[in-house]
Amino acid sequence: MKTKYLISSAIVASLLIVTNALALGGPSGPVSYKAPGKLGAVLVNPYKMAPLTAIIYNGGYNLKDVKVVVKGKGEKGIDIKYLVSDKDVLTHGGIPVWGLYADHVNNVEVSYKRNGEAMSETYKIHAPAIFMNTSGTGQQTSLPKANIVKMDEKFKDRLYLINHLIRNSLPNAGQTLWNYPEGGALPWDLEAMNWIIDTNGDIRWYMKSDVIRDPDNLYRKGNIMGFQQTKDGYMLFGMGQRYIKIDLMGRIVFDRVLPNSYIDFSHHIEQTAKGTYLMRVASANQKRADGKNVRSVRDVIIELDQDGKVIDEWKIYEILDPYRDVGILALDQGAVCLNVDADKAGTTTNKEELEDPNAPWGDIPGVGIGRNWAHINSVNYDATDDSIILSIRHQSAVVKIGRDKEVKWILASKNGWNEKLAKKLLTPVDKNGKALDCDDNGRCENTDFDFSWTSHTAYKINEKSKPEKFMLSVFDNGDARHNEQPAFATEKYSRAVEYEIDEKNMTVKQVWQYGKERGFDWYSPITSVVEYQPQYDSMFIYSAVAGLAKQLLKMGKTEPILNEVKYGTQDVKVEIKFTEMGAATIGYRALPIDLQKAFK
């Protein structure tokens, strides 16, 4: 009794001291939580952006040699395993936990040295249910369902980031216009859906994007897109008037506004081997030859240093011909990138509309500065000659341009190029180097060679390239193939394609393709990606709106298809089909994620 009394008195005395201290504005009382394990507290979603992450705080101990295993759910669940570098432990103040299942009590095994003593324990961590903004109508699930069609055992540890967008999802999205100068693509403002799946199709990460995105704020609007995992493991992407880098825990590394001369980031940003940033933007104010000041549309490339200063710019409307219209005249107006309109499916524009002096400025297919004549959707750096490679959708062209702003080569059909640029066209050749017989619109006799049409993601394959051959991968969307619409929409197809370019002799040969044989079911008129994966010697492909053309024709649904194909073959190692998309959801890109790189 005496001992209990003394403890009670001590407690009372402590409470009086704390109460008096608080009344006098003094220090608060001691931390009252009880640590659930041998370390400190557990905080789920520590940076507000990634609800399926957590930190097990260090509890005041020195932690080293940390290993984490987030156990798979059920008998067939996939374990997420990774090592955590000492610097990441210090950065996060404890053990970063990544890959929790939503609305589930996760078993998380951790091992570490605590003040030099080896320890291991298991935490039970509940992660919340998935909550994301929704279109409200036409959508029945928070995120599309990933259906595993084929999964080679060697690829079972893969993680895939999926980047989708919801059209017209919020009444306040897309309502702002640039005032003076006119034009630009500011109204192109869709809600983001970004998440990571394992090879069971289970969601192991998603972005709560309202931490960085606010449709009511001009400088917080825009499509979140252009994801790249950099060599240091961070996630790099852009959004309208900003470009952003985060880690996989959702911690913001930087969140920057575009330099004042530029507007309307979309589609692509990448960090070069030099550590600089290349991105596709537009001009905030360009004086046209007719004296009008306009904002341009998707036709400027800039390079920034690590501090955000502009190193260089490529104004593509000054390098190419913004009045070349053969590709634009052939575009299916029902699907012009993410501007999808079922009422215009199968229709094309005409010269009168393109050249109408009273046509509005901004994000419309058109010619001249201030309209969407180019629609550049990727920029890729070639360190061997300090140049950039562009995929230019509305020109159905892949173009390489040097630091001197001179065109090195153009991969495209002959039709419509001016005399100067026509000299830069690559000549298609067969496997023996003999020139192919191709007409002005790119039809080549007695060969399976074809150009890429309304393409996306033209990337150099560095690991396969040599001084005498430049290896290039392109997603050939296939709309306006040969500068026309086919008699029947169901004749359309897309391809992942690889070309070998002899830059000295200005020739190109096609060495591989995938997708043509899958026909209309695999056809993606817009978006999508193909990129070589050296660690698996595979071609990663995302036909991001497969089925959209069927949906526009009321013949089916949009069901994107993700593949990994053994390099140089038709051997499909991975196939995942996404269903339950919702009528308003558009697939943009996907990419594999290296978790080990994220925490090294």
SS3 276: coil
Handedness of CA 277, 278, 282, 283 (dihedral sign): positive
Residue 239: CB atoms within 10 Å: 23
Residues contacting 579, CB < 8 A, separation 6+: 144, 145, 147, 557, 559
Q: Nearest CA to 449 among 524, 508, 398? A: 508
Q: What is the pLDDT of residue 2?
A: 36
SS3 118: strand
What distance lies between CA 135 and its chain's CA centroid? Answer: 21
Q: What is the pLDDT of residue 340?
A: 82
How would DSSP label each residue in 441-497?
A: TS-BTTS-----SS-EEEEE-TTT-BTTBEEEEEEE--TTGGGS--SSGGG---EEE
pTM recorded for the entire structure: 0.93
Q: In this structure, which amino acid lies at residue 139?
A: Q
Q: Nearest CA to 377 among 398, 360, 405? A: 398
Residues labelled catalytic: 456
**End-to-end Cα, the chain, rounded Å:** 56
Cβ atoms of residues 560 and 545 within 8 Å:
yes
Phi, psi of 271 (to 5 degrees): -95, 130
Q: Nearest CA to 530 among 482, 579, 564, 560? A: 564
Residue 554: CB atoms within 10 Å: 8
Q: What is the pLDDT of residue 32?
A: 66
Task: Please give the radius of gyration of the chain, using alpha carbons only, rounded to the nearest integer.
Answer: 27
pLDDT tens per residue across all 600 residues of the chain: 333 333 333 333 343 333 344 344 445 566 667 889 999 999 999 999 999 999 999 999 999 999 999 999 999 999 999 999 999 999 999 999 999 999 999 999 999 999 999 999 999 999 999 998 777 767 778 899 999 999 999 999 999 999 999 876 566 677 788 989 999 999 899 989 999 999 999 999 999 999 999 988 999 999 999 999 999 999 999 999 999 999 999 999 999 999 999 999 999 999 999 999 999 999 999 999 999 999 999 999 999 999 999 999 999 999 999 999 999 999 999 888 777 887 888 889 999 888 887 888 999 889 999 999 999 999 999 999 999 999 999 999 999 999 999 999 999 999 999 999 999 999 999 999 999 999 999 999 999 999 999 999 999 999 999 999 999 999 999 999 999 999 999 999 999 999 999 999 999 999 999 999 999 999 999 999 999 999 999 999 999 999 999 998 989 999 999 999 999 999 999 999 999 998 889 999 999 999 999 999
SS3 200: coil
Q: What is the pLDDT of residue 344?
A: 86
- Which CA distances in Å does 223 have to 241, 320, 321? 10, 27, 28
Q: What is the pLDDT of residue 345?
A: 84
Q: What is the pLDDT of residue 336?
A: 83
Residue 49: CB atoms within 10 Å: 19
Q: Nearest CA to 159 among 83, 248, 270, 57? A: 248
Q: What is the pLDDT of residue 170?
A: 60
Q: Nearest CA to 486 among 529, 425, 443? A: 443
> Tell me, what DSSP letter sits at residue 199?
T
SS3 percent helix, strand, coil of the chain, rounded to 5, is 15, 40, 50
Phi, psi of 4 (to 5 degrees): -60, -40
Q: What is the pLDDT of residue 23?
A: 41
Cβ atoms of residues 194 and 163 within 8 Å:
yes
Rounded-to-integer distance, Cα 149 and Cα 153, Å = 13
Cβ atoms of residues 402 and 382 within 8 Å:
no
Cβ atoms of residues 477 and 488 within 8 Å:
no
